[in-house]
Amino acid sequence: MAHAFEINTAPVASTEGLNSPAIAQARIDLAACFRMAARLGMGEGICNHFSVVVPGRPELFLVNPYGLAFAEITASSLLICDFEGRVVLGEGRPEATAFFIHAQLHRLNPRATAAFHTHMPNATALCMLEGEPFVWAGQTALKFYERLAVDEDYQGLALDYAEGERIARAAGDADVLMLKNHGPLVLGPSIAEAWDDLYYLERAAEVQLKAMASGRPLKAVIPAIASAACRQMLQGNAESAHLHLESVKRQLLREGADFAE
């Protein structure tokens, strides 16, 4: 299902400064997200992709290479690409939909420092239902109340600039875009905050589906309370997300994972 991307072979921008400590840390953090996503069953074959704008170089982004599953990603295997389709640093090339979606997301949504797209089963299942994905009946789901947009206009695979641009515009100011008939997309101001939202989005979807499977009506939270609860959850969210990602890295290292290599 993955598709190879025909890279732009024109000369690349200077690679000077692309081994800075900040970029090295971004590589490690992003690789940790891939590995934990794999352990939690959130990946799908060699499809799906996470990206982040390169620290200090807003015209470049880090993304996983075509052909590697989430469980295989290491910090050094991540590619640095530009928005014109050139691989500036790294071995290999991005998957085609990874480039067309993520290049446009970062180009058109400067606030989207990190962009995570994966067909994780529970959130993707909600993208297959008619109507709004969430009933807003569970506390975890309320983290996304008024932060979520829905794209109803599925157009097939994102194999050109136009579809990537359409998806980027559909996201608008939302932090989560539920692509109907496709899957979720999470945008964040940092790797840690994108990871945190991705993790809790899947958990929220999982418990809603379990509740729906009971056949009993779901008890939705009234809008005023849902909105207030969302604001409560966002207080200190950056710090909480940072600590969450640090916990992920400790767990991976304790189990001998080589993600930081």
Tell me the pLDDT band of 10, cut-offs 50, 70 and 90: low
2-11, 94-103, 183-192, range with the lowest pLDDT: 2-11
The SS3 assignment for 171 reads helix
pLDDT at 195 over 70: yes
In a domain, 261, yes or no: no
Tell me the pLDDT band of 159, cut-offs 50, 70 and 90: confident
Pure H helices in 49-130: 96-108, 121-126
In a domain, 164, yes or no: yes
pLDDT at 238 over 80: yes
pLDDT, residue 4, reads 67
| Average pLDDT score over the chain | 95
Q: How many CB atoms lie within 10 A of CB 223?
A: 11
In a domain, 1, yes or no: no
pLDDT (tens digit per residue) in 203-233 = 999 999 999 999 999 999 999 999 999 999 9
pLDDT (tens digit per residue) in 35-74 = 999 999 999 999 999 999 999 999 999 999 999 999 999 9
In a domain, 13, yes or no: no
The sign of the CA dihedral 195, 116, 175, 132 is: negative
The parent domain of residue 77 ranges over 22-255
pLDDT, residue 14, reads 72
pLDDT at 171 over 90: yes
Tokens of 61: 């982004």
CATH number at 251 reads: 3.40.225.10
Number of domains, the chain: 1
Distance of CA 184 to the CA centre of its chain: 8
In a domain, 14, yes or no: no
In a domain, 11, yes or no: no
In a domain, 9, yes or no: no
